[in-house]
Amino acid sequence: MGKRIIVDPITRIEGHLRIEVEVEGGKVKNAWSSGQMFRGIEMILKGRDPRDAPHFVQRSCGVCTYTHALSSVRAVEAAVGVRIPDNARIIRNLLHGAQFQHDHIVHFYHLHALDWVDVISALKADPAKTAKISENISNAPWGGTAYYRDVQQRIRTFADSGQLGPFNNAYWGHPAYKLPPEENLMAVAHYLEALRLQAKAVKMHAIFGGKNPHLQSLAVGGITSVRDLVPDRIFQFLHIWKETQKFIRDVYIPDLLMVASFYKDWGAIGGTSNFLCWGDLPTGDKEPESLMLPRGIIKNRKIGDVKMAYQEKVAEHIRHAWYKKDEPRHPFEGKTEPLEEEVRYEPGGERKLFFGQTKTGKYSWLKAPRYEGEPCEVGPLARVLVAYGKGDKTFKAVVTDTLSKLNVPVDALFSTLGRTAARGLETLVIGNAMEGWIMELVENVRNGDTKTYESWKMPDKGMGYGLNDVARGALGHWIEIEDKKIKNYQYVVPSTWNLGPRCEAGKLGPVEQALIGTPVADPEKPVEVLRTVHSFDPCIACAVHMIDPDSNEVYKIRVV
Amino acid sequence: MKKEQDFYQRLEQKGVSRRDFMKYCTVLTATMGLSASYVPAVAEVFAAPKQRPPVIWLHFGECTGCSEGFLRSMYPWIDELLIDILDVEYHETIMAAAGHQAEENRERAVEKYAGKFICVVEGAIATKYNGAYGKIGGKTFLEIAKSVCPKAAAVISIGTCAAFGGVQAAAPNPGGYKGVSDALGIKAINIPGCPPNPVNLVGTIVNYLLLGKLPAMDNLNRPMFAYGKTIHDQCPRRSHFENDEFVEEFGSEEAKLGYCLYKLGCRGPETYNNCPIVKFHGGTSWPIQAGHPCIGCSEPDFWDKMTPFYEEM
C-alpha cells in the first residue's frame, strides 16, 4: 500500500473536483477522480417549454458558456424540424470559433500555465535577457528591457507587499519547475497580457450575442441579432478577431513551444488509449460530411484507423457513482436516482475516508460514459488526432511542424504535453478559418441576404439530438417533446467522459488512467498531478449528469 | 504621492493616459450615483491603496459565470484588480495553490483579516441531507459558508445563484439549494444577474473602500445605483412600446427596425438592472440590443417566475 494523497479542491478549473492518488516508488500507482457537487438541471427542465432549454442548460457552465446553448438549440431544432438559414449557421460558427479562441487562451495562461511557470522565480530574471529571448521566439507587439523591467517591478511590489493573493502558498521553487528565471518572467508578462486580451476578445461574443458569459441571441430557428448583421458590426468583429488571432499566432503558440521545449519528458506521461469526437463547425447542411472538425473514433491509439462514431453506442455506467443501483444504459433508456439519506453529511467523516476504501465503491457525482464499453478521451487532443488520422491537410501540417520543431515522435501526442499542445494547435486552425466565415457573411449581406431566422411551429411531439464538439470535447444533448413540453432532456458532457469514475467493468476513466505512472517528487506538493488533471481542462459543473428517473423506454430517434 | 506617480506612469506605458483614466473614474462615479466631487477620491482608490483590501471569494453551487464575468472587467482591467487594487486571498478559479494549501490560504486569511475582509460568494448553498450535495475539501458548502461569512466585514452575493438560489433552486430544486442570505440567515449585499455586469461589483467595492460603508440598497438588498430602475424604463426601444410597434417574430422587418420585444416575452418591465445604460464589455452590447428579449435574470426566482421566456407577460 503506497502513500495516499488527496487534492481537494483542485483549483484553476471550473467546479468542485477531488482527486485521490496512491503513490508508490515516486509514481502514481492508482487514481480516483470525483465530482463533488450535484445540481440536477435535467430534473429541473422536465415539463418546461422546449424553447427555454438553451437558457437553462447554458447555465451548466459559465466557462463553457454558449456551448450548451448551441447544442441545445440544435437538439430542439432537430426535434421540431426546422432548418436554420445560412447566416444563422455562419454566425453560430463565428461565436463558436470565438469561444474556442477565448476559452483556450484562458485555459493555457490562467488555468494551466502556473503548473509549468514559477512566478516567484521571475523576480530573479535579468529583464535584458528576457527581452532578447522574447524577440527571438515571439512576435509579441510589446517587449524590450524596459517593458520586462516594469513587469518585474510590478510583481516585486506585489510580492513585497506581503499580500501574495492568488499566488500565495503555491508550489514555487519545486524542483519540477524547469524554466529559467528569464523565461518565467516572459510567461508572467504574457499571463498578464492575456488577462487583458481575453476581456477584449469576448467583444466578439457581445457583438452577435449581446454579452458574455451566457450569450442571449440564440433562438430555436436561428439567431436574434439581425440588427448586428451590418457592415460596421461585422468589421468590428473582424477587428477584434484579428487582434485575438494575432495573439494566438504570435504569443500563445510560441509560448506553448517554448514551455514544451523544457518539458519534453511530459511527452511520455499522462496518455490515454481511446479518442472520441462528434465533430463540429458545419460548413453546409450535411452532417457529419460538412463538419470542419471531423467526427470519428480512434481505439488503442491506432491513428491510422479512424472509424465513424455513432451516438447509439454510448452507455453510461453508475456502478461507482452516487446513484441507486442500476445497469449501464444508453442515455435514452436512462434512469437515475441520486442517493439520498445514504449520502447524508456527517462532519469530519468524509475527510478521513479514501475513495478506494469506501464500502459501496461509490465515489463521484459523475457517471462513467463508455463507447462500446470503452472509456474515451474527448477534447482538443481527440480532435487533432482524428483530423490528423483522417488526413486533414491543415491539421496534418501544424502537427507535423510542431513535432519537428520539438523534435519528438508522433507518439509524444499521447501525453499531458500532447494534450496541451493540441489545444493550442486547434485554436490556431479554428481561428484561422474564421476569417473566411466573416467574408462569407459579408458576401451574403452584399447580395441582400440578411435572413437570420426560419419560422416554425411547436409540434405536439418530437425528438432530436445535437452532437457537438466544444472547447472541452464531445458534447451531446438529447430531447423528447410531448404535449409541447419537455418530457425528457439529457446531455452527456466532455468532462463526464474525461473525468468520470470507473465503470461496471472496473475500467478507469481517462483522467484516472492518465494519472497512472505520473511521477510525484514530493507528496506534499503534487504539482505533477495538477499538470495532468489540468491538461484535460476540467469542467465539473457541466459534468454532473442527471437523467430523468421516469424515462426508461427504448426508442429510436430521428436523425435530421 | 510617489506611488501615485508610479501608477500613472504604468498607465501611460499601457497606453492609457491620465485623462482617460480620470474619464473612467468619472463614469464609475456616475454609475455609483455619486456627485462629481468624488471623482478624485475614486481615482485615489485605484492609484495608491495603502493596503490592498483582502477579498475571499467562495464558490458553491454555480457555473463560474460570475467569476468569468469578473475576469472581463475592463474598468479597471482585471489584471489591475488582481495585482494592484485588491488582495484576492482566495479564489478557486485563479489561485495557484490547490488542495490543503488552498484551504490553508482560506483559513489563514479568515483569521488574519477577521472583520476586515470582503467576502464575495458565488453560487447557491445546498441544504438537503445536511448539505451533502456540495462539498469542497470534504466540507459542505454550508459548513464553509458558516465558518467564513460571519467573520467578513461585508458579504457580497455575486450573481443570482448566491443572491436568490438561481438555476439549481428552480423547481423541483433537487439539492435544496438556497441563496446565501437565506441559507445563513444573514443580510448579504445582492448583486444579481446571470451573470451580473462586473461594473456593478466593482462599483459596490469602490463605494465601500471610498466611503467606508455600503451603497444604498433596495428592499432586496441590491445597490440602488445599479438596480434602482427597470430595464423597461431605461430601454432605448421604449418609444416603440409607447407607439405600439412590436416585433412579433425574430428576423422580421420589425426586428430589423429594432421595435419593442414585449410581445416576444421581454421581461424588461419587471426587471431592475442597469444593462441598457452600462451595457456589457465596454458598451459593446446587451441582450435587447442583440434582438433578444430580456429574461429577467437579476430577479429572484426568475427561472420559475419569468418562464416560459417567450410568452408575453
In tens, the pLDDT along B174-232 reads 899 999 999 999 999 999 999 999 999 999 988 888 887 889 999 999 999 999 999 99
Query: Is residue B160 less than 8 Å (CB to CB) from chain A?
Result: no
For this structure, is A376 an active site residue?
A: no
Query: Is residue A84 less than 8 Å (CB to CB) from chain B?
Result: no
In tens, the pLDDT along A236-267 reads 999 999 999 999 999 999 999 999 999 999 99
DSSP state of A291: E
Query: Is residue B235 less than 8 Å (CB to CB) from chain A?
Result: no
For this structure, is A340 an active site residue?
A: no
The residues that bridge with A35 in the sheet, in sequence order, are A17
| Chain B, nearest residue to A59 by Cα | B63
Average pLDDT over residues B100-118: 96
Domain B13-211, CATH homologous superfamily name and number: NADH:ubiquinone oxidoreductase-like, 20kDa subunit (3.40.50.700)
Query: Is residue A522 less than 8 Å (CB to CB) from chain B?
Result: no
Chain B closest CA to A227's CA: distance in Å? Answer: 5
Reduced to 3 states (helix: H, G, I; strand: E, B; else coil), residue A146 is helix
Q: Which amino acid is at A392?
A: D
Q: A30-55 burial by CB neighbour count: b if 16+ within 10 A, else e? A: bbbbbbbbbbbbbbbbbebbbbbbbb
Reduced to 3 states (helix: H, G, I; strand: E, B; else coil), residue A120 is helix
Of B10, B174, B290, the CB nearest to A217: B290
Q: What is the pLDDT of residue A343?
A: 82
Q: What is the pLDDT of residue A557?
A: 33
Which is nearest to A464 in space by CA: A483, A478, A484? A478
Q: Where are the alpha helices (DSSP H) in A138-230?
A: 145-160, 181-201, 203-209
In tens, the pLDDT along A489-548 reads 888 999 999 999 999 999 999 999 999 999 999 999 999 999 999 999 999 988 875 433
CB A526 within 8 A of CB A32: no
Which is nearest to A94 in space by CA: A233, A270, A278? A233
Rg of chain B, C-alpha, whole Å: 20
pLDDT band (50, 70, 90) for residue A470: very high
Of B13, B78, B89, the CB nearest to A165: B89
For this structure, is A503 an active site residue?
A: no
CB B18 within 8 A of CB B24: no
Quick one: CA dihedral B188, B190, B196, B199, positive or negative? negative
Q: How far apart are CA A320 and CA A406, in angstroms?
A: 40
- Name the percent of chain B lying above pLDDT 90: 78
Q: What is the pLDDT of residue B26?
A: 77
CB B160 within 8 A of CB B99: no
Q: Dihedrals φ, ψ of A4, to 5°? A: -95, 135
For this structure, is A64 an active site residue?
A: yes
Query: Is residue B307 less than 8 Å (CB to CB) from chain A?
Result: yes
Dihedral angle at the C-alpha atoms of B210, B211, B216, B221, nearest 10 degrees?
Answer: 70
Q: How far apart are CA A334 and CA A328, in angstroms?
A: 8
Q: How far apart are CA B121 and CA B179, in angstroms?
A: 10
In tens, the pLDDT along A329-339 reads 776 666 567 78
Tell me which of A6, A64, A121, A345 to substitute to probe the interface with B (most B C-beta atoms closer than 10 Å).
A345
Tell me which of B86, B91, B128, B292 to substitute to probe the interface with A (most A C-beta atoms closer than 10 Å).
B292
Every domain of chain B with CATH number 3.40.50.700 lies at 13-211
Q: What is the pLDDT of residue A28?
A: 97
Interface size, chain A vs chain B, as Cβ–Cβ contacts under 8 Å: 321
Q: What is the pLDDT of residue A468?
A: 95
Which is nearest to A343 in space by CA: B131, B166, B30, B167? B131
Q: What is the pLDDT of residue A560?
A: 31
pTM of the model: 0.94
In tens, the pLDDT along A132-160 reads 999 999 899 999 999 999 999 999 999 99
Residue with grid cell 439581425, as numbered in its chain: A226
CB A363 within 8 A of CB A501: yes
Q: Which residue has the higher pLDDT, A341 or B110?
A: B110
Q: Where are the alpha helices (DSSP H) in A309-356?
A: 349-352
Binding site for [3Fe-4S] cluster: residue ranges of B?
275, 294, 297
CB B226 within 8 A of CB B200: yes
Which is nearest to A493 in space by CA: A452, A543, A439? A543
CB A370 within 8 A of CB A315: yes
Q: Which fold has domain B231-306?
A: Cytochrome-c3 Hydrogenase; Chain A, domain 2 (4.10.480)
Q: Which residue has the higher pLDDT, B24 or A256?
A: A256
- Name the percent of chain A lying above pLDDT 70: 94
Residue with grid cell 429574461, as numbered in its chain: B295
Q: Is the pLDDT of residue A416 over 50?
A: yes
Q: What is the pLDDT of residue B3?
A: 58
Every domain of chain B with CATH number 4.10.480.10 lies at 231-306
Binding site for [4Fe-4S] cluster: residue ranges of B?
63, 66, 161, 194, 232, 235, 260, 266
CB A43 within 8 A of CB A548: yes
Q: What is the pLDDT of residue A553?
A: 32
Q: Indicate the average pLDDT of chain A.
A: 93
Q: Domain for residue A158, yes or no?
A: no
Residue B286 with chain A: CB contacts under 8 Å = 210-211
Indicate which CATH number applies to the domain containing A455.
Answer: 1.10.645.10
Residue A49 with chain B: CB contacts under 8 Å = 307-311
Query: Is residue B65 less than 8 Å (CB to CB) from chain A?
Result: yes
Q: Domain for residue A188, yes or no?
A: no
Q: How far apart are CA A431 and CA A428, in angstroms?
A: 5
Tell me which of B2, B177, B284 to substitute to probe the interface with A (most A C-beta atoms closer than 10 Å).
B284
Q: Which amino acid is at A59?
A: R
Question: Which of A18, A68, A317, A423 is labelled catalytic?
Answer: A68
Q: Nine-digit cell at B221? A: 438588498
Rg of chain A, C-alpha, whole Å: 23
Average pLDDT over residues B160-174: 96
Q: How far is CA A285 from the centre of its chain?
A: 26
Q: How far apart are CA A539 and CA A237, in angstroms?
A: 28
Q: What is the pLDDT of residue A552?
A: 32
Q: Nine-digit cell at A493? A: 458532457
- Name the percent of chain B lying above pLDDT 70: 93
Query: Is residue B280 less than 8 Å (CB to CB) from chain A?
Result: yes
Whole-Å CA distances, A167 to A8, A188, A334, A339, B89: 17, 12, 43, 38, 9
Query: Where is A239: in which H helix or E strand?
Result: helix A231-247
Chain B closest CA to A523's CA: distance in Å? Answer: 12
Q: How far apart are CA B95 and CA B117, in angstroms?
A: 17
Q: Is the pLDDT of residue B11 over 70?
A: no
CB A208 within 8 A of CB A91: yes
**From the CB of residue B35, how many other CB atoms can be counted at a distance below 10 Å?**
8
CB A7 within 8 A of CB A528: no
Q: Look at chain A and report how many structural domains it folds into.
A: 1
Q: How far apart are CA A358 and CA A345, in angstroms?
A: 15
DSSP-assigned states of every residue in chain B: -HHHHHHHHHHHHTT--HHHHHHHHHHHHHHTT--GGGHHHHHHHHH--SSPPEEEEEE-BS-SHHHHHHHT-BTTBHHHIIIII-EEEEETTT-S--HHHHHHHHHHHHHHTTTT-EEEEESBEE-GGGGTTBEETTEEHHHHHHHHGGGSSEEEEEHHHHHH--GGGSTT-TT-EE-HHHHHT--PEEE-SSSPPHHHHHHHHHHHHHHSSPPPB-TTS-BHHHHSSBHHHH-TTHHHHHTT-B--STTSHHHHTT-B-GGGT--GGG-B--HHHH-BTTTTB-TTTTT-----TTSTTHHHHS-STTS--
Reduced to 3 states (helix: H, G, I; strand: E, B; else coil), residue A328 is coil
Q: Which domain holds residue A302?
A: 3-114+197-557
Q: How far apart are CA A508 and CA A486, in angstroms?
A: 34
Whole-Å CA distances, A390 to A36, A302, A379, A396, A469: 38, 11, 17, 9, 17
3-state secondary structure A412-449: HHCCHHHHHHHHHHHHHHHHHHHHHHHHHHHHHHHCCC
For this structure, is A539 an active site residue?
A: yes
Which is nearest to B89 in space by CA: B62, B49, B120, B61? B120
Helix axes A86-106, A231-247, angle to 10 degrees: 30
Q: What is the pLDDT of residue A443?
A: 97
Q: Domain for residue A165, yes or no?
A: no
DSSP state of A64: S
A170 to B96: CB separation less than 8 angstroms, yes or no: yes
Q: Is the pLDDT of residue B233 over 70?
A: yes
Q: Domain for residue A183, yes or no?
A: no
B54 to A226: CB separation less than 8 angstroms, yes or no: no
Which is nearest to A426 in space by CA: A252, A270, A295? A252
Q: Find residues 36-75 of chain A whose CB sits inside 8 Å of chain B.
A: 36-41, 43-44, 48-49, 51-52, 55-56, 59-63, 65
Q: Nine-digit cell at B245? A: 410597434
Q: B134-172 burial by CB neighbour count: b if 16+ within 10 A, else e? A: bbbbbbbbbbbbbebbebbbbbbbbbbbbbbbbbbbbee
Query: Is residue B116 less than 8 Å (CB to CB) from chain A?
Result: no
Q: Which amino acid is at A30?
A: N
Query: Is residue B49 less than 8 Å (CB to CB) from chain A?
Result: no
Q: Is the pLDDT of residue A395 over 60?
A: yes
For this structure, is A239 an active site residue?
A: no
Q: Nine-digit cell at A45? A: 427542465
CB A350 within 8 A of CB B137: no
Long-range contacts of A132-139 (CB under 8 A, 24+ apart): A133/A182, A133/A183, A133/A186, A134/A186, A137/A254, A137/A257, A137/A258, A138/A186, A138/A250, A138/A251, A138/A254, A138/A255, A138/A258, A139/A249, A139/A250, A139/A251, A139/A254
Least reliable range by pLDDT among A50-59, A187-196, A482-491: A482-491
In tens, the pLDDT along B34-75 reads 777 777 777 766 665 568 899 999 999 999 999 999 999 998
Query: Is residue A209 less than 8 Å (CB to CB) from chain B?
Result: yes
A44 to B303: CB separation less than 8 angstroms, yes or no: yes
| Chain A, nearest residue to B128 by Cα | A344
In tens, the pLDDT along A31-48 reads 999 999 999 888 899 999
Of B65, B88, B168, the CB nearest to A65: B65
